Amino acid sequence: MELSTSPSIWAYGSVWLFFSLLVYFKFSHSDMVLTPALLVYFFLLVLFEWFCHLYLPILLGMVLLSSACFYVLSITSPRKLLPVAGKAVLITGCDSGFGKAAAQRLDELGFKVIATVLDLESPGGKDLRKNCSDRLTIIQMDLTKPEDIKRAQQITKEKTRENGLWALVNNAGYCAHFGDAELSLMSTYRGCMEVNFFGTLEITKALLPMLRSSKGRIVTVSSPAGEHSFPFLAAYGSSKAALSRVMDTFRHELMPWGVKVSVIQPGSYKTGAHDDKSHWERQHKKLLSNLPNELLQEYGEEYISETQNLFFEYGKTACTDFSPVIDSITDAILSENPKVKYYAGKQLWLLYFIGIYLPSSISDNFFKSLFLKGKIMPRALRKQKNTE
Protein backbone atom coordinates (compact mmCIF):
# COMPACT_ATOMS: atom_id res chain seq x y z
CA MET A 1 0.00 0.00 0.00
CA GLU A 2 2.81 2.39 0.87
CA LEU A 3 4.53 1.69 -2.45
CA SER A 4 1.37 2.55 -4.41
CA THR A 5 0.59 5.78 -2.55
CA SER A 6 4.12 7.14 -2.23
CA PRO A 7 4.53 8.11 -5.92
CA SER A 8 1.10 9.74 -5.83
CA ILE A 9 1.99 11.80 -2.75
CA TRP A 10 5.23 13.00 -4.30
CA ALA A 11 3.52 13.80 -7.61
CA TYR A 12 0.69 15.85 -6.11
CA GLY A 13 3.08 17.38 -3.59
CA SER A 14 5.21 18.74 -6.45
CA VAL A 15 2.11 20.35 -7.99
CA TRP A 16 1.21 21.98 -4.67
CA LEU A 17 4.78 23.19 -4.19
CA PHE A 18 4.89 24.83 -7.61
CA PHE A 19 1.43 26.36 -7.06
CA SER A 20 2.54 27.73 -3.66
CA LEU A 21 5.63 29.31 -5.21
CA LEU A 22 3.49 31.03 -7.86
CA VAL A 23 1.06 32.33 -5.22
CA TYR A 24 3.99 33.62 -3.13
CA PHE A 25 5.48 35.32 -6.19
CA LYS A 26 2.21 37.07 -6.98
CA PHE A 27 1.70 38.16 -3.36
CA SER A 28 5.24 39.50 -3.12
CA HIS A 29 4.71 41.57 -6.28
CA SER A 30 1.37 42.97 -5.04
CA ASP A 31 -0.37 41.30 -7.94
CA MET A 32 -2.81 39.35 -5.79
CA VAL A 33 -4.80 40.05 -2.65
CA LEU A 34 -6.20 37.59 -0.13
CA THR A 35 -9.95 37.51 -0.58
CA PRO A 36 -12.74 35.19 0.61
CA ALA A 37 -13.08 33.97 -2.97
CA LEU A 38 -9.42 32.91 -3.01
CA LEU A 39 -9.92 30.88 0.17
CA VAL A 40 -12.99 29.19 -1.32
CA TYR A 41 -11.04 28.32 -4.48
CA PHE A 42 -8.20 26.88 -2.36
CA PHE A 43 -10.67 24.66 -0.48
CA LEU A 44 -12.15 23.46 -3.79
CA LEU A 45 -8.65 22.67 -5.06
CA VAL A 46 -8.02 20.51 -1.99
CA LEU A 47 -11.24 18.59 -2.64
CA PHE A 48 -10.32 18.21 -6.32
CA GLU A 49 -6.86 16.90 -5.41
CA TRP A 50 -8.47 14.35 -3.08
CA PHE A 51 -10.74 13.20 -5.93
CA CYS A 52 -7.81 12.90 -8.38
CA HIS A 53 -5.73 11.03 -5.76
CA LEU A 54 -8.47 8.44 -5.22
CA TYR A 55 -9.91 7.88 -8.67
CA LEU A 56 -7.50 8.94 -11.42
CA PRO A 57 -4.14 7.73 -12.75
CA ILE A 58 -1.27 9.80 -11.35
CA LEU A 59 -0.31 11.48 -14.64
CA LEU A 60 -3.87 12.44 -15.56
CA GLY A 61 -4.52 13.67 -12.02
CA MET A 62 -1.38 15.85 -12.09
CA VAL A 63 -2.41 17.40 -15.41
CA LEU A 64 -5.95 18.16 -14.22
CA LEU A 65 -4.85 19.53 -10.84
CA SER A 66 -2.19 21.71 -12.48
CA SER A 67 -4.78 23.05 -14.93
CA ALA A 68 -7.17 23.82 -12.07
CA CYS A 69 -4.40 25.64 -10.14
CA PHE A 70 -3.48 27.79 -13.14
CA TYR A 71 -7.17 28.59 -13.72
CA VAL A 72 -7.58 29.75 -10.12
CA LEU A 73 -4.49 31.94 -10.44
CA SER A 74 -5.81 33.50 -13.65
CA ILE A 75 -9.24 34.42 -12.26
CA THR A 76 -8.05 35.65 -8.86
CA SER A 77 -5.24 37.86 -10.14
CA PRO A 78 -6.14 41.47 -10.95
CA ARG A 79 -5.93 42.21 -14.63
CA LYS A 80 -2.98 44.37 -15.68
CA LEU A 81 -4.16 47.54 -17.42
CA LEU A 82 -2.31 49.48 -20.08
CA PRO A 83 -1.77 53.26 -19.84
CA VAL A 84 -4.42 55.50 -21.41
CA ALA A 85 -2.15 58.35 -22.46
CA GLY A 86 -2.21 58.99 -26.20
CA LYS A 87 -4.73 56.30 -27.04
CA ALA A 88 -7.64 56.98 -29.43
CA VAL A 89 -10.84 54.96 -29.75
CA LEU A 90 -13.75 55.10 -32.19
CA ILE A 91 -17.19 54.09 -30.87
CA THR A 92 -20.21 53.56 -33.10
CA GLY A 93 -23.82 54.21 -32.09
CA CYS A 94 -23.29 56.94 -29.48
CA ASP A 95 -26.72 58.60 -29.76
CA SER A 96 -27.81 56.72 -26.63
CA GLY A 97 -27.37 53.55 -24.60
CA PHE A 98 -24.06 51.73 -24.32
CA GLY A 99 -22.34 53.87 -26.96
CA LYS A 100 -23.10 57.17 -25.25
CA ALA A 101 -22.17 55.82 -21.81
CA ALA A 102 -18.93 54.29 -23.15
CA ALA A 103 -17.95 57.56 -24.87
CA GLN A 104 -18.43 59.45 -21.61
CA ARG A 105 -16.51 56.89 -19.54
CA LEU A 106 -13.56 56.68 -21.95
CA ASP A 107 -13.42 60.47 -22.26
CA GLU A 108 -13.26 60.73 -18.46
CA LEU A 109 -10.37 58.25 -18.45
CA GLY A 110 -8.40 60.45 -20.85
CA PHE A 111 -8.92 58.73 -24.20
CA LYS A 112 -9.23 60.66 -27.42
CA VAL A 113 -12.76 59.54 -28.31
CA ILE A 114 -14.30 59.60 -31.78
CA ALA A 115 -18.04 59.02 -31.31
CA THR A 116 -20.34 58.31 -34.25
CA VAL A 117 -24.03 59.21 -34.12
CA LEU A 118 -26.91 58.90 -36.57
CA ASP A 119 -28.00 62.48 -35.90
CA LEU A 120 -25.61 65.24 -34.83
CA GLU A 121 -28.54 67.10 -33.28
CA SER A 122 -29.87 64.13 -31.32
CA PRO A 123 -30.20 64.60 -27.53
CA GLY A 124 -27.34 62.15 -27.05
CA GLY A 125 -25.05 64.01 -29.44
CA LYS A 126 -25.79 67.34 -27.79
CA ASP A 127 -25.22 65.85 -24.34
CA LEU A 128 -21.82 64.46 -25.35
CA ARG A 129 -20.72 67.84 -26.74
CA LYS A 130 -21.86 69.56 -23.56
CA ASN A 131 -20.39 67.21 -20.96
CA CYS A 132 -17.24 65.75 -22.54
CA SER A 133 -13.80 67.25 -23.02
CA ASP A 134 -12.51 68.87 -26.19
CA ARG A 135 -10.67 65.60 -26.95
CA LEU A 136 -13.99 64.11 -28.06
CA THR A 137 -14.96 64.29 -31.75
CA ILE A 138 -18.51 63.53 -32.93
CA ILE A 139 -19.09 62.19 -36.44
CA GLN A 140 -22.40 61.63 -38.21
CA MET A 141 -22.40 58.10 -39.61
CA ASP A 142 -25.06 55.70 -40.88
CA LEU A 143 -23.64 52.17 -41.10
CA THR A 144 -25.86 51.40 -44.10
CA LYS A 145 -24.21 54.16 -46.16
CA PRO A 146 -20.71 53.36 -47.52
CA GLU A 147 -20.03 57.07 -48.09
CA ASP A 148 -20.57 57.76 -44.37
CA ILE A 149 -18.16 54.97 -43.45
CA LYS A 150 -15.55 56.28 -45.87
CA ARG A 151 -15.88 59.80 -44.43
CA ALA A 152 -15.53 58.43 -40.89
CA GLN A 153 -12.41 56.57 -41.99
CA GLN A 154 -10.84 59.76 -43.36
CA ILE A 155 -11.69 61.82 -40.28
CA THR A 156 -10.30 59.09 -38.03
CA LYS A 157 -7.02 59.07 -39.99
CA GLU A 158 -6.71 62.82 -39.54
CA LYS A 159 -7.61 62.79 -35.85
CA THR A 160 -5.25 59.92 -35.00
CA ARG A 161 -2.34 60.88 -37.23
CA GLU A 162 -0.01 61.42 -34.27
CA ASN A 163 -0.47 58.24 -32.20
CA GLY A 164 -2.72 56.07 -34.35
CA LEU A 165 -6.06 54.42 -33.58
CA TRP A 166 -5.91 52.09 -30.60
CA ALA A 167 -9.42 50.62 -30.50
CA LEU A 168 -12.70 50.27 -32.37
CA VAL A 169 -15.87 49.67 -30.35
CA ASN A 170 -18.60 48.24 -32.58
CA ASN A 171 -21.68 49.18 -30.58
CA ALA A 172 -24.28 50.39 -33.10
CA GLY A 173 -27.15 47.93 -33.51
CA TYR A 174 -30.69 47.69 -34.83
CA CYS A 175 -33.77 45.69 -33.87
CA ALA A 176 -36.88 46.39 -35.96
CA HIS A 177 -39.37 43.73 -34.90
CA PHE A 178 -40.25 41.48 -32.00
CA GLY A 179 -42.41 38.63 -33.26
CA ASP A 180 -42.65 35.24 -34.93
CA ALA A 181 -40.00 34.38 -37.52
CA GLU A 182 -42.69 33.63 -40.11
CA LEU A 183 -44.31 37.02 -39.53
CA SER A 184 -41.07 39.00 -39.74
CA LEU A 185 -40.83 40.82 -43.06
CA MET A 186 -37.86 40.15 -45.31
CA SER A 187 -37.10 43.87 -45.08
CA THR A 188 -36.72 43.35 -41.32
CA TYR A 189 -34.21 40.55 -41.81
CA ARG A 190 -32.29 42.63 -44.34
CA GLY A 191 -32.43 45.75 -42.15
CA CYS A 192 -30.93 43.93 -39.18
CA MET A 193 -28.23 42.37 -41.34
CA GLU A 194 -27.38 45.69 -43.02
CA VAL A 195 -26.65 47.41 -39.69
CA ASN A 196 -25.64 44.66 -37.29
CA PHE A 197 -23.56 42.61 -39.71
CA PHE A 198 -22.67 44.26 -43.02
CA GLY A 199 -22.32 47.81 -41.67
CA THR A 200 -20.27 46.68 -38.67
CA LEU A 201 -18.13 44.49 -40.91
CA GLU A 202 -17.52 47.37 -43.32
CA ILE A 203 -16.41 49.87 -40.66
CA THR A 204 -14.18 47.20 -39.12
CA LYS A 205 -12.48 46.48 -42.44
CA ALA A 206 -12.12 50.21 -43.13
CA LEU A 207 -10.27 50.81 -39.85
CA LEU A 208 -8.27 47.57 -39.72
CA PRO A 209 -5.10 48.97 -41.35
CA MET A 210 -4.89 51.55 -38.55
CA LEU A 211 -5.64 48.94 -35.86
CA ARG A 212 -3.03 46.55 -37.25
CA SER A 213 -0.48 49.33 -37.25
CA SER A 214 -1.11 50.09 -33.56
CA LYS A 215 -1.56 46.41 -32.56
CA GLY A 216 -4.83 47.59 -31.08
CA ARG A 217 -8.22 46.25 -30.14
CA ILE A 218 -11.59 45.44 -31.70
CA VAL A 219 -14.46 45.30 -29.19
CA THR A 220 -17.90 44.33 -30.46
CA VAL A 221 -21.21 44.44 -28.62
CA SER A 222 -23.17 41.38 -29.71
CA SER A 223 -26.09 39.67 -27.96
CA PRO A 224 -27.01 36.36 -26.26
CA ALA A 225 -29.74 36.24 -28.94
CA GLY A 226 -26.93 35.45 -31.38
CA GLU A 227 -25.98 32.34 -29.41
CA HIS A 228 -29.40 31.11 -28.26
CA SER A 229 -32.56 30.71 -30.33
CA PHE A 230 -34.79 33.12 -28.42
CA PRO A 231 -38.43 33.12 -29.60
CA PHE A 232 -39.55 36.29 -31.43
CA LEU A 233 -36.00 37.52 -32.15
CA ALA A 234 -35.18 35.66 -35.36
CA ALA A 235 -34.07 38.65 -37.44
CA TYR A 236 -32.07 40.34 -34.70
CA GLY A 237 -30.60 37.10 -33.37
CA SER A 238 -29.54 35.90 -36.82
CA SER A 239 -27.67 39.12 -37.52
CA LYS A 240 -25.93 38.99 -34.14
CA ALA A 241 -25.00 35.33 -34.70
CA ALA A 242 -23.34 36.27 -37.99
CA LEU A 243 -21.60 39.20 -36.29
CA SER A 244 -20.20 37.05 -33.45
CA ARG A 245 -18.95 34.45 -35.93
CA VAL A 246 -17.09 36.92 -38.14
CA MET A 247 -15.53 38.62 -35.11
CA ASP A 248 -14.30 35.27 -33.83
CA THR A 249 -12.78 34.64 -37.25
CA PHE A 250 -11.06 38.04 -37.10
CA ARG A 251 -9.72 37.08 -33.66
CA HIS A 252 -7.90 34.06 -35.07
CA GLU A 253 -6.64 35.81 -38.19
CA LEU A 254 -5.43 38.98 -36.45
CA MET A 255 -3.44 37.23 -33.71
CA PRO A 256 -0.20 37.33 -35.76
CA TRP A 257 -0.70 41.09 -36.19
CA GLY A 258 -1.02 41.66 -32.45
CA VAL A 259 -4.65 42.84 -32.69
CA LYS A 260 -6.90 41.45 -29.95
CA VAL A 261 -10.62 40.94 -30.55
CA SER A 262 -13.28 40.71 -27.85
CA VAL A 263 -17.06 40.28 -27.94
CA ILE A 264 -19.40 41.68 -25.27
CA GLN A 265 -22.56 39.69 -24.53
CA PRO A 266 -24.86 41.99 -22.53
CA GLY A 267 -27.91 40.91 -20.57
CA SER A 268 -31.25 42.69 -20.86
CA TYR A 269 -30.80 46.49 -20.79
CA LYS A 270 -32.96 49.46 -21.74
CA THR A 271 -31.13 50.87 -24.73
CA GLY A 272 -31.86 52.63 -28.02
CA ALA A 273 -35.50 52.81 -29.06
CA HIS A 274 -36.55 50.34 -26.36
CA ASP A 275 -38.84 52.87 -24.65
CA ASP A 276 -39.87 54.69 -27.82
CA LYS A 277 -43.45 53.43 -28.11
CA SER A 278 -44.15 55.48 -31.24
CA HIS A 279 -41.25 53.73 -33.02
CA TRP A 280 -42.67 50.29 -32.27
CA GLU A 281 -46.19 51.36 -33.18
CA ARG A 282 -44.91 52.46 -36.58
CA GLN A 283 -43.15 49.11 -37.00
CA HIS A 284 -46.36 47.33 -35.98
CA LYS A 285 -48.45 49.22 -38.54
CA LYS A 286 -45.83 48.55 -41.21
CA LEU A 287 -45.96 44.84 -40.41
CA LEU A 288 -49.76 44.64 -40.59
CA SER A 289 -49.93 46.55 -43.86
CA ASN A 290 -47.31 44.36 -45.54
CA LEU A 291 -48.31 40.88 -44.35
CA PRO A 292 -50.07 38.69 -46.92
CA ASN A 293 -53.76 38.53 -46.07
CA GLU A 294 -53.70 34.73 -45.77
CA LEU A 295 -50.92 34.87 -43.19
CA LEU A 296 -52.67 37.65 -41.27
CA GLN A 297 -55.80 35.50 -41.10
CA GLU A 298 -53.86 32.45 -39.95
CA TYR A 299 -52.27 34.28 -37.01
CA GLY A 300 -54.81 37.01 -36.34
CA GLU A 301 -54.19 40.67 -35.61
CA GLU A 302 -55.04 40.13 -31.93
CA TYR A 303 -52.19 37.59 -31.59
CA ILE A 304 -49.69 39.91 -33.30
CA SER A 305 -50.74 42.86 -31.12
CA GLU A 306 -50.38 40.83 -27.92
CA THR A 307 -46.86 39.80 -28.93
CA GLN A 308 -45.85 43.44 -29.22
CA ASN A 309 -47.42 44.23 -25.85
CA LEU A 310 -45.46 41.36 -24.29
CA PHE A 311 -42.29 42.97 -25.63
CA PHE A 312 -43.12 46.20 -23.79
CA GLU A 313 -43.89 44.30 -20.59
CA TYR A 314 -40.62 42.39 -20.84
CA GLY A 315 -38.78 45.66 -21.43
CA LYS A 316 -40.01 47.03 -18.10
CA THR A 317 -37.82 44.49 -16.32
CA ALA A 318 -34.69 45.44 -18.30
CA CYS A 319 -31.77 46.91 -16.38
CA THR A 320 -31.01 50.64 -16.55
CA ASP A 321 -27.53 50.43 -15.00
CA PHE A 322 -25.11 50.08 -17.91
CA SER A 323 -22.00 49.84 -15.73
CA PRO A 324 -21.38 46.06 -16.18
CA VAL A 325 -21.32 46.54 -19.96
CA ILE A 326 -19.20 49.70 -19.84
CA ASP A 327 -16.77 48.04 -17.41
CA SER A 328 -16.44 45.13 -19.84
CA ILE A 329 -15.80 47.46 -22.79
CA THR A 330 -13.19 49.37 -20.79
CA ASP A 331 -11.43 46.17 -19.71
CA ALA A 332 -11.39 44.84 -23.28
CA ILE A 333 -9.72 48.06 -24.43
CA LEU A 334 -7.20 48.47 -21.61
CA SER A 335 -6.45 45.00 -20.27
CA GLU A 336 -3.07 43.59 -21.20
CA ASN A 337 -4.80 40.28 -21.92
CA PRO A 338 -8.50 40.95 -22.59
CA LYS A 339 -11.07 38.18 -22.47
CA VAL A 340 -12.38 36.66 -25.69
CA LYS A 341 -15.97 37.07 -24.41
CA TYR A 342 -17.44 39.25 -21.70
CA TYR A 343 -20.78 38.28 -20.16
CA ALA A 344 -22.19 41.50 -18.75
CA GLY A 345 -25.37 41.25 -16.74
CA LYS A 346 -26.93 39.75 -13.65
CA GLN A 347 -27.82 36.06 -13.85
CA LEU A 348 -26.54 35.91 -17.43
CA TRP A 349 -24.44 32.88 -16.45
CA LEU A 350 -27.67 31.04 -15.58
CA LEU A 351 -29.10 31.65 -19.06
CA TYR A 352 -25.96 30.27 -20.69
CA PHE A 353 -25.76 27.30 -18.34
CA ILE A 354 -29.38 26.32 -19.02
CA GLY A 355 -29.15 26.98 -22.76
CA ILE A 356 -25.89 25.08 -23.32
CA TYR A 357 -25.61 22.30 -20.75
CA LEU A 358 -29.14 21.22 -19.86
CA PRO A 359 -31.37 18.98 -22.03
CA SER A 360 -33.50 20.75 -24.64
CA SER A 361 -36.66 19.71 -22.80
CA ILE A 362 -35.53 21.88 -19.87
CA SER A 363 -33.98 24.74 -21.83
CA ASP A 364 -37.02 24.99 -24.13
CA ASN A 365 -39.34 25.36 -21.15
CA PHE A 366 -37.01 27.92 -19.62
CA PHE A 367 -36.99 30.13 -22.72
CA LYS A 368 -40.73 29.61 -23.08
CA SER A 369 -41.20 30.98 -19.57
CA LEU A 370 -39.24 34.08 -20.55
CA PHE A 371 -40.79 34.86 -23.93
CA LEU A 372 -43.87 32.77 -24.70
CA LYS A 373 -46.19 34.25 -22.08
CA GLY A 374 -49.03 35.11 -24.43
CA LYS A 375 -52.56 34.04 -23.58
CA ILE A 376 -53.84 34.40 -27.14
CA MET A 377 -53.06 31.58 -29.55
CA PRO A 378 -52.75 32.14 -33.31
CA ARG A 379 -56.24 32.20 -34.82
CA ALA A 380 -55.80 29.02 -36.90
CA LEU A 381 -54.60 27.07 -33.86
CA ARG A 382 -57.58 28.24 -31.84
CA LYS A 383 -59.93 26.95 -34.56
CA GLN A 384 -58.14 23.58 -34.61
CA LYS A 385 -58.42 23.32 -30.84
CA ASN A 386 -62.12 24.15 -30.89
CA THR A 387 -62.86 21.46 -33.48
CA GLU A 388 -61.01 18.70 -31.63
Phi/psi of residue 7, nearest 5 degrees: -60, -35
Q: How far apart are CA 250 and CA 204, in angstroms?
A: 10
DSSP letter (8 states) at residue 224: G
Q: Are 90 and 135 in contact (CB under 8 A)?
A: no
Q: How far apart are CA 245 and CA 210, in angstroms?
A: 22
Q: Is 71 a catalytic residue?
A: no
Phi/psi of residue 138, nearest 5 degrees: -110, 130
Q: How far apart are CA 331 and CA 338, in angstroms?
A: 7
Q: Where would I find the H helices in the chain?
A: 2-28, 36-55, 58-76, 97-109, 123-131, 146-159, 186-192, 200-214, 234-254, 277-290, 293-299, 301-315, 323-334, 348-357, 360-371, 379-387
Query: Within 10 Å of residue 23's Cβ, how many Cβ atoms?
Result: 19
How distant, in Å, are the alpha carbons of 99, 114, 163, 179, 353 from that of 232?
25, 34, 45, 4, 21
Phi/psi of residue 83, nearest 5 degrees: -70, 150
Annotated catalytic residue: which of 12, 41, 189, 236?
A: 236
Q: Can you give the length of the chain in residues? A: 388
Q: How far apart are CA 245 and CA 41, in angstroms?
A: 33
**Which residues form the catalytic set?**
236
